[in-house]
Structure 1
Amino acid sequence: MTPWAEEAFGALAPRLMDLVPECLARAHARARDAHEGAQTQTLEAYGHGLYAAQFEQLAMGLADLPGADAVRLQARTVMVVAGHVLYPIRYAKRDTPVSTAKLRRTSGLRADLIRRHGPDPRQGELDLGPAFEAPEDEVHGDLSKLSPDTKLILVAYACAYHSGIVRLEWGSAELQQRDRSLVWHHHEPLPIPRGPGQLAG
């Protein structure tokens, strides 16, 4: 257990460090099964399946933790544990540093979630000014379901159909408007799962 994880989750940190990788390994296994069941030449079934399954497996896996709370955001269930909402993001299909992670868009639920519940922007970063922030009435409505003091923990992972999860980290990041990149204030690795669906190479 690291000082950062202990500060964020207290006594629950060691359990989360085991559960989160297990949940994502199960999500990957389900997505592989979906692709094999669909028997398509493309990996659409895998990609869509993984997106849905990552939320569902985290919700199931973390539901019994003391004080854990399930919140529905844009038809997906996310878990709030010890005042932190855990939000999974598959940022790559191969083993690349989490510092390369980008969002597809600077608007929408994920972007608003990071702006609202992520860390305050660092001093010295390029400030594009308030004109680039969504007006209050344009922020995704589901975010009203989260307490204003809830903190965001991004669970960022690289994963592909053939290789499984090859990199997995968690931490806090801000979103850069100019290029959709995530600027990590802190990130640290979680164990690479060796559970269901993980393949060698």
Structure 2
Amino acid sequence: MSVSLSPWATEVFGKQASVVHVGLGQALRNMQANAQAAQEQADSRTNHTYGSARWQGQFERVWEELRDLPGATPVKPFGFPFELIVVGNGLLYPFLYSKTTSDVRTARIPRESQLVRELFTFAPEPAHVQDAFDFDGFGENGQEAEPRGGLASLPPGTRLVLVPFACNASELLEAHWGIAALGAERRLEWETVPEALTLPDTVTSHGQHLRSIPKQTTASESALTSFDGGAEPALTLSSRANVDQLRDILPLTEAEPADDQTSEGDANH
């Protein structure tokens, strides 16, 4: 597929820029399809299953689609459950900016977390540099965020490439990519014009994804494996001695439990 690319994309991703452009659109299409399938399987009256699968998929599907590119490297930020991917000099960060069609030029980062602060150390400086009395963009101790985990090992010149997309449980609406600074109130200050990604109609699959409910055990198989399907054990009954009955001693049905010699602390050794 031939796509028209801006100079910044070629500068960041090199000769692989067009492949990254196409791959991102395909990854987001796969993300949407997987999330909708999870929602359908859950048969729930809420969209919680869709939302959870979509959030996970926006990172995992991108990695699956681009991991075979020469030089593609996974990067795991500190305390983050998923890996991001670096291609060339571009660190890709996909995120949901709207559930309806909306002007991406006015988009905000959904939440200014510690991860977001660390990611935007690879982005341009905002027009208004916040001072020590502005806590947005700074850590809890008032110091400017510093990359941790896998982000700390990224080479100089790495650039954060944002991939904002709009979708809901019904459809994938649009997606873009570009470079921006993090301004006041989580607003993005675009250094490049955010460009639309091409979203294909078809879905590709990498690895083994659930396509149908696994085969259920048949009645005959269940009869052989069920805990109550075997022969009943023979029970030996004995009467209590007369002396015990006269003294009102309660029958002993189980042995006294032995003291547990383990503790929760043992699990740490």
> More helix per residue: 1 or 2?
1
Which of 157, 162, 168 is 1:154 aligned to?
162
Partner letter of residue 66 of structure 1? P
Q: Please list the CA deviations of residues 159-188 of structure 1 after superposition, one character each: whole Å capped at 9, or x if unmatched.
A: 112122x211101111123x1111111121
CA shift for structure 1 position 137: 7.9
CA shift for structure 1 position 136: 4.8
Greater shift after overlay, 58-67 or 99-108?
A: 99-108
Greater shift after overlay, 140-149 or 65-74?
A: 140-149
- 1:28 partnered with 2:32: yes
Q: Please list the CA deviations of residues 86-122 of structure 1 after superposition, one character each: whole Å capped at 9, or x if unmatched.
A: 11011111110112221233332023212x1111223
Report how many aligned residue pairs link the two structures.
Answer: 191
Name the SS for the 1:76 alignment partner: coil
Name the SS for the 1:67 alignment partner: coil
Partner letter of residue 82 of structure 1? G
- 1:13 partnered with 2:17: yes
Residue in 1 aligned with 2:152?
144
Q: Please list the CA deviations of residues 60-102 of structure 1 after superposition, one character each: whole Å capped at 9, or x if unmatched.
A: 1111111111111212111100021111011111110112221
Partner letter of residue 99 of structure 2? K
Identity %: 32
1:111–1:138 CA distance, 2 compared to 1 (3 A):
closer
> More strand per residue: 1 or 2?
1
1:104–1:16 CA distance, 2 compared to 1 (3 A):
closer
- 1:194 partnered with 2:194: no
Measure the CA separation in 1 of the matches of 2:104 and 2:89: 24
Greater RCO, CA 8 A, separation 6+: 1
Residue in 1 aligned with 2:116?
110
Measure the CA separation in 2 of the matches of 1:9 and 1:172: 13
Q: Is the CA contact (8 Å cut-off) linking 2:28 and 2:199 kept in structure 1?
A: no
CA shift for structure 1 position 18: 1.1
Partner letter of residue 170 of structure 2? H
Residue in 2 aligned with 1:77?
83
Measure the CA separation in 2 of the matches of 1:51 and 1:145: 25
RMSD of the TM alignment (CA)? 2.0
TM-score (norm 2): 0.66
Q: Which runs of 4+ in 1 moved over 3 A?
A: 135-140
Greater shift after overlay, 140-149 or 153-162?
A: 140-149
Partner letter of residue 7 of structure 2? P
Measure the CA separation in 1 of the matches of 2:84 and 2:44: 30
Residue in 1 aligned with 2:264?
none
Measure the CA separation in 2 of the matches of 1:153 and 1:127: 20
TM-score (norm 1): 0.86
